Structure 1
Amino acid sequence: MKNMITATGLLSLTLLSSTVLAKVSPEEAAKLGTTLTPIGAEVAGNAAGTIPKFEGGLHSGNTTKSADDGRPDNPFGDDKPLFTITNANLDQYRNNLSPGQLAMFGKYPDYQMPIYQTRRTATYADEINAKVKKNATTAELVQGGNGIANFDTAIPFPIPSNANEVIWNHITRYRGGSARRFLTTIPAQADGSFVPVKLNDQLVWPEFLVGGRDAKKDDNILFYYLQVITAPSRLTGTALMVHETIDQVAEARKAWVYNSGQRRVRRAPNVSYDGPSAGTDGLRTSDNYDMYNGAPDRYDWKIIGKKELYIPYNSYKLMDTSASYEDIAKAGHLNPEYLRYELHRVWHVEATLKEGARHIYAKRSFYIDEDTWGASVIDHYDGRGKLWRMAEAHNVQFYDVDTPWMVAETLHDLNSGRYLTTGLSNEEPKFMVWGEKNKRKAFSTSALRRIGK
């Protein structure tokens, strides 16, 4: 297939030299679309009836198109919370919360989680579902689980057998193919004060470039990424470009930055792992972005199991254009009036830093939504084994384009009381622009230089 990632270069050599983990049989893959959803979640609800059966999700075929497909209308605007978790009733619900979520209640006496009816809205287009089903019988882990081969576009392991496969599903999950976002990042101080950082970014898979994937030029490329900071003035013009590689052990991520002060493009090898992330006031590492990204090679990965967890879901209120950033970002945490949590099944995966490897996070505990493969909650531990940071992804279903993705992600420092929110767009004229057609040269160093200027 033209669009199939066939490991023709580096990955083909890897197949010969590394252990290849087994793909599933056609009989096992036949469960996709029957007892499993097309991307591998359990169709059935839970025994208590608090998680419903999956019935196709919210998609372009069963909804009315929004006036703004970048900020779809809230289909659940009339919903009221079933209950609200507070410090007064926390003990009733602690089994369905992560340690990091529990720590938020200990840190902030006023912390609340409004719990709503669970709605399994997440779904993808038939074209993507078909590719995922084929991936189930072709995709393979290579480099001891640190790379993948023989998969098409997104979600290589819908029926995973180990933790590496689960985390690769998060890394490769479908995010619209080609998307441009106009975002605001808020590094909030402990007292709630902040200076917003405005940026726009663009994420494009090679399959969605003009002419599609090129077997040579896009060999080992997962996607192209471009980010430009537009405010405040001290950061304006700072730009980042990434060519994200599939197997980053064999070929490291390629990253360049344009520094507006120096007026030049330079390679940026520190844009990976725990390298600092620009415009975040030191609150985020490079691999914290999009909840988690990059090469998994510095950690040992383990599946703890599946569990039911209260996670942010159907967070349409966070796109309310009548709300200001000051309405939403409060001291310690986001305003619960704009939040929505639901009970969903998640994969619990634990990452422990390998002996001899370096990272500021010695352990990470991932809770990955079964309906999207997106990490919804991640607890981060320091070198002493102490809980340090807690991240949450506030997801919605962009039903006009059959794509689930986050409208904001938060990263809370449980020691300092500061936190970072990325993705808010309430005060921006536009938020998401889907389906732009770009040529490959739009992600060249010369293009980055022009954008910076």
Structure 2
Amino acid sequence: MTTRKIMLQCGALALSLLAANVMAAVSAEQAAKLGTSLTPLGGEKVGNADGSIPAWTGGLAKNAAAVDAKGFLADPFAGEKPLFTITAKNLEQYKAKLSEGQLAMFERYPDSYSMPVYASHRTAAVPEQVYQAAKISAVKTTLMEGGNGLKDFTDSRYYAFPIPKDGLEVVWNHITRYRGGNLHRQTAQATPQTNGSYTLVSFDETVGVPGEMPDLTPEKAANALLFFKQRVTAPARLAGNVLLVHDSLDQVAEPRMAWIYNAGQRRVRRAPQVSYDGPGTAADGLRTSDNLDMYNGAPNRYDWKLIGKRELYIPYNNYRLASPQVKYSDILKAGHTNQELARYELHRVWEVEATLKSGERNIYGKRRFFLDEDSWQIAVSELYDGRGQLWRVGQSMLVQQYAVQTPVYAMEALYDLIAGRYVASAMTNEEKSAIQYGTKASAIEYTPAALRNAGVR
């Protein structure tokens, strides 16, 4: 969305606040807290009682540290040392600020799993026009009947419910959070065996967002969330395969549309399996389609419950893990990623629980998510099978892309507690460049007809 368009809409925001339409997500009085007692995205501005969580003061500055010629970020906190490290031996004294899934990782890997905990820094920040978009969302956006889509959201496009009232609204904030607009990235994914051996799968991925695609028609933009294209570049047996996804705001009325170009067959076909619990790309059965980005897609198969807010040790400011000085072989180890490279901090999180609806189908009978209050990114996930047994634990290694004011993550991993394996994705350490933001995107590039050209080896 252009800055000019946001500013024009902000003029209407004052009238919206005065009107306080009964259909608004929150009242005018509540919305006025954004940027005052609350952060502009709805987090608590104040720190906690003992000061272990500081106050939010605007997030990390755009010039917080150096950016190299390839776009990789230097670590603004490189000189810091852990306050302490949680291990299976001292676990008891920290249990109150750990989730069930985190505790299960210590139980599964008592000799190798650890969590180095550092001083907390509330670094999340987005551009000013995105803050203004969140204010528009607060007074205008509501859930469609059933909660599976958004009304009056296309004027803002980001953070549908910065002051949420229930679990579904919290999850919609994750789905509609700011990711930096159009982007291009080259990433690596691996699914290590129990002995630690792995084969890298390399991807070339682009994302287009409706407000930044000039040739996207108003009709198509009205229900569009984003456009995603993923080309496999290695290994040779998979190279040239391309996935195209059109994600909608109301994925029940207009379900996700996906296509796959198979380089071996040289044909494009619809891919309805790229949704819900369909298999994730080249993930060896270790994640589903809706596990990518911790959670994505239509929320209609679950009942969502807001448990509340709590303090939790979560992955945060993982600049070391994103460093080009670190090799994939340094990260990928047997059982779990190299925890010595990780950084955890104490932050407030929203806790949401999803229970599969009666009559619906999904391999996960229950999910639990913990979302960072400042970025709305899911930091930790817990996935249960149909018998109620904890099956998989996910974590996204949060990092602030300070140069472009975008909260993202260095990588994400999903651990299968039963199989003793995991899938690690979105790694960029050894790629030719870091994520490129602000790229040009055309609707023509995201059509099935364009897939064949994208898949040329």
After superposition, residues 181-220 of structure 1 pair within 5 angstroms as 181-210=185-214, 214-220=217-223
**Runs of 4 or more consecutive aligned structure 1 residues displaced over 6 Å after TM superposition:** 1-4
Question: Whole-Å Cα distance in 2 between the matches of residues 69 and 83 of structure 1?
Answer: 33
SS at structure 2 position matched to 1:216: helix
> Aligned partner of 2:125: which letter?
T
Structure 2 counterparts to residues 409-448 of structure 1, below 5 A = 409-448=412-451
- Unpaired runs of 5+ residues, structure 2, are 7-21
Give the structure 2 partner of residue 408 of structure 1.
411
For residues 191 and 55 of structure 1, what CA distance do their matches in structure 2 show?
45
Alignment-derived partner of residue 102 in structure 2: 101
* Residue of structure 1 aligned with 2:177, choices 169, 173, 176: 173
Where does the alignment leave 5 or more consecutive residues of structure 1 unmatched?
5-19
Inter-partner Cα distance in structure 1 for 2:213 and 2:65: 29
> Corresponding residue for 2:142?
140
Which secondary structure state, in structure 2, belongs to the residue aligned with residue 72 of structure 1? Answer: coil
Instruction: Report the residue type matching 1:162 in the other structure.
Output: D
What CA distance in whole angstroms lies between the structure 1 residues aligned with 2:305 and 2:69?
A: 41
Q: Count how many residue pairs are aligned between Structure 1 and Structure 2.
A: 436
2:13 corresponds in structure 1 to none
| 1:265 aligned onto 2:283 | no
Deviation at 1:59, TM superposition (A): 3.0
Letter in 2 for 1:157: F
CA shift for structure 1 position 239 = 0.7
What residue is the counterpart of 2:291 in the other structure? 288
Report SS of the residue matched to 2:220: coil
C-alpha distance in 2 between matches for 1:35 and 1:435:
32
Q: Secondary structure at the match of 2:33?
A: coil
Identify which of 40, 43, 48 aligns with 1:41. 43
CA displacement 1:48-97 (0-9 Å, x = unmatched): 2110000110132x535522473211111001000000011000111111
1:391-444 CA distance string (max 9 Å, x none): 000011101101000110000000010001001112111120111112110101
Once residues 150 and 214 of structure 1 are traced to their aligned partners in structure 2, the CA distance between those partners, rounded to angstroms, is 18
- Shift of residue 320, structure 1, vs aligned partner: 1.9
Identity between Structure 1 and Structure 2 (%): 51
Per-residue deviation at 1:203?
Answer: 1.4
Q: Give the TM-score normalised by structure 2.
A: 0.93
The reply on whether 1:116 has 2:118 as its aligned counterpart is yes
Structure 2 CA distance, aligned partners of 1:291 and 1:71? 23
1:22 deviates by 4.7
Match of 2:341 in 1: 338
Counterpart CA distance in 2 for 1:354 and 1:174 is 29
> Partner letter of residue 401 of structure 2?
F
Residue identity in the other structure for 1:355: S
- Tell me the residue number matched to 2:254: 251
CA contact (8 A) 2:83 2:118 kept: yes
> TM-score, normalising length from structure 1?
0.94
Which residue does the alignment assign to 2:327?
A: 324
- Shift in alpha-carbon separation, 1:426–1:195, aligned structure 2, 3 A: same
Residue 137 of structure 1 aligns to a residue in which SS? helix
* Cross-structure match for 1:383: 386
State whether residues 69 and 398 of structure 1, in contact with CA within 8 Å, keep that contact through their aligned partners in structure 2: no
69 and 159 in structure 1: CA distance in 2 versus 1, 3 angstrom threshold: farther
RMSD of equivalent CA atoms: 1.5
Question: Matches of 1:267 and 1:244 in 2, distance apart?
Answer: 14
Question: Which residue number in structure 2 is paired with residue 63 of structure 1?
Answer: 64
The match for 2:371 is: 368
